[in-house]
Amino acid sequence: MGATIHAAAADAARWCQHAPGDRWFTDETYVKVNGVWRYVYRAVDQLGEVIDVLVCARRDAAAARRFFRKAMVTLKVRPTEVITDAAPTYPAVFDELVPSAWHHVERHANNRVEADHSQLKHRLRPMRGLRTDRTAQTIIAGHAFMQNLRRGHYELGLDARAGSASLRRSPSSPPPSEDRPALARTRPPIGKRNSAR
């Protein structure tokens, strides 16, 4: 259920997403899906925004092509520079999809996205496991959305004048939390519940 909500929220908020940068740091990492290792293609721009993710069974030219085509069609942006590892599948894919982009494969140039993988691994570790490729794709895409949201890559929220102390609200809306009276406790504290019986 939560994964479905993340996917729906990401689709709804796509129009509020900042335009991604033109330098894409791309790499693959691994996740276990139903006991089998799967590749996860991920791209991050120079500002730290996660461009896109793709879970697939193989690490080949077809998977790389699918990943970049999906990212460019969804975001309607083409990179001017792509930083990857030295995987032999990338040059042919870039010559086909983005021939004008500079393909950078220098050592340690891709550290930005490799370090970003740790955020995903940290989130997946306490979970009970991913059962299907579709579930893995949805969970990982939802994580990317939440990561971008926390990093400020979406324009969501209310419009307010700069320097104004408070936001306008309608007369029917509840007062801010500091104006609200403290709610009366209707149940005794946990320690006193058992002793009352």
Tell me if 155 is assigned to some domain.
Answer: no
Q: What is the pLDDT of residue 133?
A: 92
Q: For the chain, what is the domain count?
A: 1
Q: What is the pLDDT of residue 15?
A: 63
Q: Is 27:46 a contact under the CB 8 Å cutoff?
A: no
Tell me if 12 is assigned to some domain.
Answer: no
Tell me if 166 is assigned to some domain.
Answer: no
Q: What is the pLDDT of residue 51?
A: 92
Least confident of 50-54, 93-97, 101-105, 180-184: 180-184
Tell me if 36 is assigned to some domain.
Answer: yes
Choose among 115, 120, 86, 116: nearest CA to 103. Answer: 86
CATH of the domain at 75: 3.30.420.10
Tell me if 39 is assigned to some domain.
Answer: yes
Tell me if 46 is assigned to some domain.
Answer: yes
Is pLDDT at 38 greater than 90 in this prediction?
Answer: yes
Q: Is 51:58 a contact under the CB 8 Å cutoff?
A: no
Digit-coded pLDDT (tens) for 140-188: 888 888 888 888 887 766 554 444 444 344 444 444 444 434 434 444 4
Tell me if 164 is assigned to some domain.
Answer: no
13 confidence band (pLDDT: 50, 70, 90):
low
71 confidence band (pLDDT: 50, 70, 90):
very high
Mean pLDDT, all residues of the chain: 77
Q: What is the pLDDT of residue 184?
A: 41
Q: What is the pLDDT of residue 187?
A: 44
* For range 90-112, the mean pLDDT: 89
Provide the residue range defining the domain that includes 101.
20-150
Q: Is 120:50 a contact under the CB 8 Å cutoff?
A: no
* 3-state DSSP assignment of residue 120: helix
Residue 50 neighbours by CB under 8 Å, 6+ apart: 42, 43, 44, 116, 144, 147, 148
